[in-house]
């Protein structure tokens, strides 16, 4: 089974994240591998161990995105594909899905695995956008994935429990962080990752015109953005035996009780 | 006035969810609101109370057994026919997924997690853990906007909607991901986390799954939903579907009560836009106090039972 894992380099969510003057994500600061992607990579490696085949990473991003690829490769995937082009920065989700779908068509994947969301956009639309373009199934929000031949079954987390969802491969699956515990890359893995093949694809390689992507081709635009005023701290009391009562007094004054 | 489509969050079991009424309230400022209901009941009275001029009813057959693809196909057909000024969906996982498919089908712009929508169709979004406020607009196609629950107060505007059944013509490609079983693991009278006007959440400080009974007790006394921080979920204290913050749910209730939660930025990402925030934590340096409107520095195992008793006394 050939598995492609979608990975993304994102601004560190623990840091101070900003938009640039043109309203696109500022990627000049501390960047990390999107955390949820580690769970997607781990799931791919487990399926590979059980069913054979290859695990290939796919990302779209600037030059620095290769750092995220190497980090994920250190966990054990075989190879990576990096879609990189000067026209891509500022691409909207619709354009991104067009580019990733075109790259996926060259990769002949039985299964595409993604994290349930990226920590920068948190838009959660990519699996269904790709499925729509490729005419294959999207099974999202998995907390468990089972493969039996060409039959794919997931437990899909819902608000009240879970749904069992089935499809035939090829398919796109997204996973939550409840699905597994990602392995830590070993020293050997980190060294090996440096030598693993990272194939670069340009828009020309994918047959996509520069005007269809980036800021120029974006289907939406940011008109204005501003730092949200920080919430100011209110009163804090130390519990000296009546903390619970004081709390309820506050809630009563605010008409919650 | 141009038609504005609202994709209802409604079911026979839950009725019309509040976010649907919020969307109707926002839609009225843009144009003439029509609601698309998936199911067998049109909820015409409830939707009419909030200004629905029309209800499109798409029967559940051929839709319910599959993930979102059939809904997107039905909506795309309707959008091509009526050419609405905008389409509003709830910013839930399903709402966003439907919007994503529509964006591809219609080559239209998509704005997710809106907290406000202006009459001209521009949307306000809170991004990066609520630290940055963005005003954005769609440049191409029909504006597809997902509205975060609890973003605005629904206001009534009585209308008598015309109910129009929709022909459901889905394709084989819409039937690829089949739901074979729905399992309810947890059921109760508590409001749904993202819809609730009060949320009481527990963190690592709650200490164990058993102790979450304390969080649940306070939530029930306040009529609220229960949430959990990632630390609590990762420790196995509470299930993931109740996680608030990055890699979990975003909530925006009137009141958010944080018990034993330090308030890491990843948690704040999910609750920062709450109207009022109250915290109990034994660590006076916990970052949660920086955004709390009222904080109690103390042992939650003493403070919370006392608060619960006090609420019962006042009831």
- Residue A189, number of CB atoms within 10 A of its CB: 15
Contacts of B112 in chain A (CB under 8 A): 122-125
* Residue A152 contacts residue A168 (beta carbons within 8 Å): yes
pLDDT for res A29: 81
Residue range(s) in chain B whose domain bears CATH number 3.40.50.620: 3-175
Residue range(s) in chain B whose domain bears CATH number 3.40.50.1220: 198-314
CATH of domain A3-212: 3.40.50.620
Please say if the pLDDT value at position B277 is more than 90. yes
Contacts of A244 in chain B (CB under 8 A): 296, 302-310
Question: Can you give the length of chain A in residues?
Answer: 257
Q: Is A21 on the interface with B (CB under 8 A)?
A: no
* Residue A80 contacts residue A41 (beta carbons within 8 Å): no
Residues A116-137 have pLDDT tens digits of 999 888 889 999 999 999 999 9
- Closest CA relative to residue B146, chosen from A122, A100, A75, A82: A122
Q: Is A251 on the interface with B (CB under 8 A)?
A: yes
Residues B134-162 have pLDDT tens digits of 999 999 999 999 999 999 999 999 999 99
Is the domain defined by B198-314 classed in CATH 3.40.50.300?
no
In a mutational test of the A interface, the residue from B247, B267, B299, B315 whose CB has the highest number of chain A CBs within 10 Å is: B247
When the pLDDT of each residue in chain B is averaged and rounded to a whole number, the result is 95
Please say if the pLDDT value at position B186 is more than 80. no
- Residue A209, number of CB atoms within 10 A of its CB: 10
Its CATH class, for the domain covering B3-175, is alpha beta
Q: Is A126 on the interface with B (CB under 8 A)?
A: yes
The label of the residue with tokens 């009225």 reads B28
Please say if the pLDDT value at position A96 is more than 70. yes
**B68–A135 C-beta distance less than 8 A:** no
- Residue B299, number of CB atoms within 10 A of its CB: 15
Residues B30-76 have pLDDT tens digits of 999 999 999 999 999 999 999 999 999 998 777 989 999 999 999 99
Please name the residues between 103 and 142 in chain B that touch chain A, using a CB distance below 8 Å: 103-105, 107-113, 122, 126-141
ipTM: 0.95
β-strand pairing of A198-201 with A79-83 = parallel
Residues A209-250 have pLDDT tens digits of 999 999 999 999 999 999 888 788 899 999 999 999 999 999
Residue A22 binned pLDDT confidence (cut-offs 50, 70, 90):
confident
Please name the residues between 46 and 85 in chain A that touch chain B, using a CB distance below 8 Å: none
- Residue B294, number of CB atoms within 10 A of its CB: 23
Please say if the pLDDT value at position A13 is more than 70. yes
Q: Is the dihedral of CA A64, A68, A74, A80 positive or negative?
A: negative
pLDDT for res B187: 62
What ranges do the domains of chain A cover? 3-212
- Residues B267, B263: Cα–Cα separation, whole Å: 6
The mean pLDDT value for B231-244 works out to 94
**Three-state secondary structure readout of A136-191:** CEEEEEEEEEEEECCEEEEEEECCCEEEEEEEECCEEEEECCCCCCCCCCCHHHHH
Lowest mean pLDDT among A52-56, A210-214, A240-244, B263-267: B263-267
């Amino acid at each position: 089974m050939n598995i492609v894992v979608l990975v993304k380099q994102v601004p560190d969510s623990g840091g101070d994240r900003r938009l640039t003057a043109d309203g696109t994500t500022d990627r000049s600061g501390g960047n990390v591998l999107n955390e949820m992607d580690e769970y997607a990579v781990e799931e791919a490696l487990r399926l590979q161990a059980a069913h054979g085949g290859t695990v290939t990473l796919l990302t779209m991003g600037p030059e620095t995105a290769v750092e995220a690829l190497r980090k994920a490769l250190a966990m054990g995937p075989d190879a990576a594909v990096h879609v990189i082009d000067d026209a891509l920065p500022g691409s909207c989700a619709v354009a991104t899905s067009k580019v990733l779908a075109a790259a996926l068509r060259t990769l002949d994947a039985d299964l595409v695995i993604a994290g349930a969301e990226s920590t920068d956009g948190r838009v959660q639309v990519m699996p269904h956008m790709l499925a729509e373009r490729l005419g294959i199934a999207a099974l999202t929000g998995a907390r468990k994935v089972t493969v039996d031949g060409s039959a794919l079954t997931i437990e899909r987390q819902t608000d009240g429990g879970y749904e069992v969802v089935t499809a035939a491969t090829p398919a796109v699956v997204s996973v939550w962080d409840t699905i597994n515990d990602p392995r830590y890359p070993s020293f050997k893995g980190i060294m090996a990752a440096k030598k693993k093949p990272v194939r670069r694809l340009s828009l020309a390689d994918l047959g996509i015109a520069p005007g269809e992507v980036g800021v120029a081709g974006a289907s939406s635009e940011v008109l204005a953005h501003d730092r949200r005023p920080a919430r100011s701290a209110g009163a804090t009391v130390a519990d000296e035996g009546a903390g619970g009562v004081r709390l309820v007094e506050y809630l009563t004054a605010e008409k919650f009780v | 006035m141009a038609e504005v489509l609202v994709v209802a969050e409604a079911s026979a079991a839950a009725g019309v969810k509040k976010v649907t009424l919020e969307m109707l309230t926002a839609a009225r400022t843009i144009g003439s609101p029509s609601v698309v209901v998936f199911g067998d009941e049109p909820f015409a009275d409830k939707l009419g109370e909030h200004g629905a001029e029309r209800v499109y009813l798409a029967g559940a057959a051929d839709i319910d057994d599959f993930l979102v693809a059939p809904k997107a196909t039905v909506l795309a057909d309707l959008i091509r026919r009526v050419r609405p000024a905008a389409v509003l969906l709830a910013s839930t996982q399903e709402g966003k997924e439907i919007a994503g498919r529509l964006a591809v089908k219609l080559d239209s712009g998509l704005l997710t997690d809106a907290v406000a929508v202006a009459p001209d169709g521009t949307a306000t979004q809170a991004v990066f853990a609520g630290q940055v406020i963005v005003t954005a607009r769609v440049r191409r196609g029909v504006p597809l906007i997902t509205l975060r629950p609890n973003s605005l107060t629904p206001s009534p505007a009585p209308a008598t909607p015309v109910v129009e059944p929709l022909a459901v013509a889905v394709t084989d490609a819409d039937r690829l991901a089949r739901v074979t079983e729905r399992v309810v693991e947890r059921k109760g009278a508590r409001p749904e986390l993202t819809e609730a006007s009060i949320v009481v959440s527990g963190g690592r400080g709650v200490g164990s799954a058993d102790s979450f009974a304390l969080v649940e007790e306070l939530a029930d006394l306040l009529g609220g939903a229960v949430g959990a921080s990632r630390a609590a979920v990762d420790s196995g204290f509470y299930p993931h579907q109740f996680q608030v913050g990055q890699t979990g749910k975003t909530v925006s209730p009137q009141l958010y009560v944080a018990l034993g939660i330090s308030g890491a930025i990843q948690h704040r990402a999910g609750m920062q836009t709450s109207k009022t925030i109250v915290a109990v934590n034994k660590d006076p340096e916990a970052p949660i106090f920086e955004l709390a409107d009222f904080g109690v520095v103390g042992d939650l195992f003493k403070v919370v039972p006392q608060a619960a008793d006090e609420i019962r006394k006042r009831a």
